């Protein structure tokens, strides 16, 4: 899941992506220090296709 999302972000936005291994099912996406997506805050679900890219765009990533 993380690898495919990283590829989508690179392709759509041309951003450098760093994937860090977490523990206990943590799945978060951050832009610098800003939380863009959190699996735990989203009701323990993974993001839908395009959801994180859209949120990154709204946060000013281009």
DSSP 8-state assignment for residue 47:
P
In this prediction, residue 51 carries a pLDDT of 98
Residue with tokens 């000013």: 60
pLDDT value of residue 35 = 98
| Closest-CA residue to 20 (of 35, 30, 10, 34) | 30
- In total, the chain counts a number of residues equal to 62
Domain extent, residue 26, equals: 2-58
The reported pTM is 0.89
Predicted confidence (pLDDT) at residue 62 exceeds the cutoff of 80: no
pLDDT tens string 13-59: 999 999 998 888 899 999 999 999 999 999 999 999 999 999 999 99
Q: Is the pLDDT of residue 1 over 90?
A: no
Token readout for 38 is 């959190």
- In the chain, the largest separation of any two C-alpha atoms, in whole Å, equals 31
Count how many domains the chain has: 1
């Amino acid at each position: 899941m993380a690898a495919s999302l990283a590829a989508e972000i690179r392709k759509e936005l041309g951003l450098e992506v760093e994937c860090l291994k977490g523990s206990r099912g943590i799945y978060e996406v951050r832009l610098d220090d800003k939380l863009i997506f959190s699996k735990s805050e989203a009701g323990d679900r993974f993001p839908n296709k395009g959801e994180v890219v859209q949120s990154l765009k709204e946060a000013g990533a281009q």
